[in-house]
Amino acid sequence: MLRNYIKIAWRNLTRNKAFSAINILGLAIGIAACVLILQYVTFELSFDNFHAKGDRIYRVRQDRYDKGKLSTQWVGGAQAAGNSFKANFGEVEDYVKVLKRRALIADYGEKSLKVERVFVASESFFKIFSYPLLAGNATTALAEPNTVVLSESVARRLFGSENPMGKTIRINQQQAVKVTGVYRDMPANTHLHADLLIPHLTFIKEMGKDNNPDNAWMWDGALSYLLLRSDASPKALEAKFVPYIQKTIGAELKKYDADAIYTLQPLRDIHLYSHFMEEAEPNGDGKTVYLLLAIAFFIVVIAWVNYINLATARAINRAKEVGVRKAVGSLRGQLIRQFMTESVLLNGLAVGLALLIVVGSLPIFSELSGQQLSFSLLGSRMFWLPLLGLFVVGAFLSGLYPAFVLSGFKPVSVLKGKVSTSRQGIVLRKSLVVFQFAASLFLLVGTLAVFSQIQFMRAQSLGLNIEQTLVINPPIIKTDSTFMRQMLAFKEELLRRPGVRSIAASTVVPGQASDWNAGGIRLKGTDESKSKQYRVIGIDYDFLKTFDLKLLAGRNFAKEFGSDPKALIFNKMAAKQLGFDQPDQAIGKQIEFWGETFTLVGVTDNFHQQSLRDAYEPLILRLIPDVRGYFSIKLASGQLDNTVDVIRTEWNHFFPGNPFEYSFLDERFNEQYRADQRFGQVFGLFTGLAILVACLGLFGLASFTTAQRTKEIGIRKVLGASVGEIVQMLYQEFAVLILIAFVVATPLAWYAVSQWLQSYAFRTDIQWWLFVMPFVLVLLIALLTVSFQSVKAALMNPVKSLRSE
């Protein structure tokens, strides 16, 4: 019987080639799109789930308050937090402390290697985290100062086939350290990637006995992870932090009318839900992941709806087949199994085609999404399980309703030719079409909103000039005694070149968050409770001129003023936080800055140090004439390649041994929008696929509807109806459905877009065209889709269509 079902199902598929092709292609595109998105989502949701103790690992996070108002949200909390919580709370089984360091140069013999991702880590790093050691002991690898643990790739590049264990390498041509371990390269799905680990004991030794970071509660910047006991409650432990902090540093905080609240982040939530200061690296976005999951759902449901629509629309054509089968003794259950077999066969073919589409588009999708998806996925259980699930669910759900409709015909009625489409069936098909196009319109509005916001951010004035600016990364190898002389000589030499207009040095450049967060800053003579927190950027004399920063009051730093090393420039937001609504009121005021007195000599207009996703921050520009930071070189237009070559030559002359790594600031700044752009591209791609799948279904439905009304069209033509009138008659039914879809989708899309835009401090307005343009576009696409069949039917000779009458 099963073989008979399959044979009949195959005959029906081949007899109705056009409908079968539309169904298979629509389902294949829907399944392929869904599978690709599911791979992306699965990867994003898999971050840090490989740690054996992951369900018990929590990262300590700190919120700082000034006068009861939230001022700073850190993941880099106090240096003393991890070890103090371990010592004072029985719920904490162990802890690890991690600090991010700048890149370094590692030398071994004749080999020299720049290592980008460097972290300081305390002893329990490999005991708490499941990063496998290939050589060394998890307990002792980070237990001694002046040692390092290397990643597998760094070890291979430095030592080749030689065993690195116990070997000595030199760091930044200064410090000799011994290799005590090699660990497997950290996987892509972890929030923490390190190429080289330095023991925390080395850091303590560098700081000296009188400056032990393990005792520092007012010194931030450490990522502290706690391993809780299996029976510990994170919420209960958080509650204990509050009285402990008050007891330990409450008096100190009270001086500044400040407070510090410590909370725990589950390790596995960090990647998707943590976007605070001093993250180890940029994290993902949980909202984006679940939005893409919703898109996957929409696309595959639209494809299943196509099948249901076309199958039920063709019910009249198959009514007599059902009547004959019932008349000769077929039971309803047998008919349901027959039609379900057709659904399984069609979905199976669609899955096969979807697999080919996925394989062909995987490299393109990987590049588009920025996620490293490779063909190795084809051997993964996480690839085949969703594919199998989509096949089983799709075959069952999409085939079930048509099977019940078709098997429910009464043999007496259908054999007498009295079968007509029920009102309920028509309403259902129309409702499904409305759902398809409402979903398509919703996605299209979302796509336009994403690109509109990106365009808005890129078009806004930043308050500074980043064009034609080449940025050189800071020198790594220090020359403390001669650095100032080298820097000045380097700048003077370049300024003689016709291609160079100006040069500035700074601790960070526009597009970077300042990692210098300073609290306790107030007007001299005021109570400590008036202190506030600010972000600080160390700059040289030429920073304001190089970036065309606008001074609202006061002056720039100048060498003629011998006191300027004790001078500060605030931005407008910082001056307002200090208590001055008018910038000129702040000029000349003395500022208490970490026990020293500075004079405020200038106030700049607010400028965007970071992307427009972030609000203006209170910024202090502090003069550091010999700042060891980034060099920003403003170039004249023309002969760019020659100028870069000249800069490289001079860099190698004045800073030998330091790699010449440069970028252009406008490109570097716009990198902040890369995640939004990728999201927009992925969103747009799958929105296009959703519309394509919906239009495939509309094409099939229009074809069938037109075929059903062939004789009606012939009669209308005989009675004088024009081709245009007939096309209009056939089209207006679908146009009404799209209009209803627009009415349904618009409020939902408006709400979703308005919620999404809330995450941007500077955002575009929601314009009317965001909704009208998708509606007009979908209406035109639907018109073209329907018109192809309508015009063909309208041009048919009425004699042909009425011949049987």
pLDDT top residue among 545 and 641: 545
**Tens-place pLDDT, residues 561-608:** 877 888 999 999 999 999 899 999 999 999 988 888 999 999 999 999
For residue range 780-795, list pLDDT tens digits in order. Answer: 887 777 776 667 666 6
Q: How confident is the model at residue 382 (pLDDT cuts 50, 70, 90)?
A: low
pLDDT at 397 over 90: no
Per-residue pLDDT at 180 exceeds 80: yes
What's residue 24's pLDDT? Answer: 83
pLDDT band of 171, cuts 50, 70, 90? very high
Model confidence at 9, pLDDT cuts 50, 70, 90, reads: low
The DSSP bridge pattern shows strands 469-472 and 662-664 to be antiparallel
Tokens of 519: 């609290």
Q: What is the pLDDT of residue 146?
A: 93
Domain ranges of the chain: 2-43+286-457+674-802, 54-273, 469-671
Instruction: Say if CB 84 and CB 248 are below 8 A apart.
Output: yes
Query: Quick check: 718 and 802 in contact, CB under 8 A?
Result: yes
Q: How close are the terminal C-alpha atoms of the chain, in Å? A: 40
Residue 315 has pLDDT above 60, yes or no: no
Over the chain, what is the mean pLDDT?
A: 84
One DSSP character per residue, 369-389 reads HT----GGGGG-HHHHHHHHH
24/30 Cα distance (integer angstroms): 10
> Which range has the top average pLDDT, 345-354, 473-482, 608-617?
608-617
Composition of the chain by helix, strand, coil, percent to 5: 55, 20, 30
Token reading at 110: 């004749």
The pLDDT of residue 805 is 45
Residue 283's pLDDT is 87
| Contact predicate 59/265, CB 8 Å | yes
Confidence of residue 391 (pLDDT cuts 50, 70, 90): confident
What SS3 state is found at 47?
coil
CA dihedral 592, 595, 599, 600 (to 10 degrees): -50
pLDDT at 319 over 70: no
pLDDT at residue 92 above 80? yes
Query: Is pLDDT of 505 > 80?
Result: yes
17 burial level (CB within 10 Å; 0-12, 13-18, 19+): exposed
- The burial of 181, by beta-carbon neighbours within 10 Å (0-12 exposed, 13-18 middle, 19 or more buried), is given as buried
Residue 746 has pLDDT above 90, yes or no: yes
Q: Is the pLDDT of residue 313 over 80?
A: no
Percent of the chain clearing pLDDT 70 (strictly above): 85
pLDDT of residue 191: 94
Is the pLDDT confidence value at 263 over 80?
yes
Residue 539: closest CA among 503, 496, 575: 503
The predicted model scores a pTM of: 0.83
The answer to whether the CB of 47 falls within 8 A of the CB of 273 is no
300: nearest Cα among 654, 585, 30: 30
* pLDDT tens-digit readout, 25-79: 888 888 888 888 888 888 888 899 999 999 999 999 999 887 788 888 889 888 9
